[in-house]
Structure 1
Amino acid sequence: MTTQLLIIWHSRTGAALQMARAAAAGAQAVADELDAGGRFDLQVRPADTVRTENLLAADGYLFAAPENLAALSGAMKECLDRTYYHVLDRLNGRPYGAVITAGSDGDGARRQLERICTGWRLKPVAPTLIVPMRAQTPEAILAPKTVPGAWLARGAELGGTLAALLL
């Protein structure tokens, strides 16, 4: 039987995508270490491509998105809005992790995402990672980002934790 981890991401400046990729690398490393072979299916999908069937097929989830204007990014929120009622009461108890990339705070997006996951009755495997990119000017906010290695390592650890729990 195959176990699937679905990583859903949205990124405007590259930071959330880097964190999603780090989580995927961490998850795959743990699966390889556990010699999961064909028992582990890692799916990494942009939020705008995620459909109800993708959510239903997965055994666990990792969400990676930026905070925009003190809220979850529009594309991630739209993904969750579009699928929410189609999977309600059908994902109960499945594990999830979350990463929010933010200029400084990230708390508004974290709260929003955690409330949706609570409504789906998902179980967090760790506190949401809020990655402070320290962008405070319009130019810095819109510029492509490079996530510091220490944060990428934390993203990889979160992905690895999810994979270990699923396997």
Structure 2
Amino acid sequence: MKTLLIVYHTQSGNTEKLAGAAYRGACEADEVETRLVRAYDASLQDLLTCQALLIGSPENFGYMSGGIKDFFDRTFYPAQDYRLNLPYALLISCGNDGTGAVRQIDRIMTGYPMRKVAEPVICPGEVRPEYLEQCEELGLTLAMGLAMGIF
């Protein structure tokens, strides 16, 4: 069975709500195991045992969160020998436009290497029902693409 890994960081709870919605959507694909893991708890082993990755981060000061940065710091160089080439997507909770976090994460992901397979879901301000729907759809899209061998 293929595995979709959702790694997220949250302080206010907004990104956790969005990641939870993505998880619910992904769980609709019975053929894929979906794991929801906080960034500080995620490890290289989690990356090595998944076939797709969804990163959830708040945008802090125009950058990804410290928790996501910590996850990258702990896994980037150890992952180099594996040339992971995993499909990935992003969900961003932000106060402004979220583009700074997207740009920085995308830049790091090219070094693993990983390949972006969906447009990021960017959710400015308070979590609204339409953001949760978009995140559910993103989770389902990644899981179904993985199950069908598209990614």
TM-score bracket for this pair, using the shorter chain length: over 0.9
- Report the Cα distance in structure 2 between the residues aligned to 1:60 and 1:83, rounded to whole angstroms: 15
- Structure 1 residues 150 and 79, CA, compared in 2 at 3 Å: closer, same or farther? same
**More deviation, 112-121/57-66:** 112-121
Structure 1 counterpart of 2:70: 78
Aligned residues: 147
Structure 2 counterpart of 1:160: 140
| Partner SS state of residue 11, structure 1 | coil
Deviation (angstroms), 1:92: 3.4
Aligned-pair RMSD on alpha carbons?
Answer: 1.2
Supply the AA of the counterpart residue of 1:163.
Answer: A
Q: Counterparts of 1:97-108 in structure 2 under 5 Å?
A: 97-108=89-100
Does the Cα contact within 8 Å between 2:7 and 2:54 map onto a contact in 1?
A: yes
Larger radius of gyration: 1
- Report the Cα distance in structure 2 between the residues aligned to 1:89 and 1:128, rounded to whole angstroms: 27
Structure 2 counterpart of 1:8: 7
**More deviation, 119-128/149-158:** 119-128
Which portions of structure 1, spanning 4 or more consecutive aligned residues, are displaced by more than 6 angstroms?
none
Does the Cα contact within 8 Å between 2:27 and 2:33 map onto a contact in 1?
A: no
Deviation (angstroms), 1:121: 2.1
- Report the Cα distance in structure 1 between the residues aligned to 2:83 and 2:5, rounded to whole angstroms: 13
Q: Counterparts of 1:85-164 in structure 2 under 5 Å?
A: 85-133=77-125, 145=126, 147-164=127-144
Structure 2 counterpart of 1:45: 37
- Report the Cα distance in structure 2 between the residues aligned to 1:41 and 1:88, rounded to whole angstroms: 25
Deviation (angstroms), 1:104: 1.3
- Report the Cα distance in structure 1 between the residues aligned to 2:119 and 2:106, rounded to whole angstroms: 10
Structure 2 counterpart of 1:62: 54
Give % identity.
37
Supply the AA of the counterpart residue of 1:124.
Answer: K
- Report the Cα distance in structure 2 between the residues aligned to 1:108 and 1:131, rounded to whole angstroms: 13
- Please report the TM-score for the alignment, with normalisation by the length of structure 1: 0.84
Structure 1 gap ranges (5+): 134-144
- Please report the TM-score for the alignment, with normalisation by the length of structure 2: 0.92
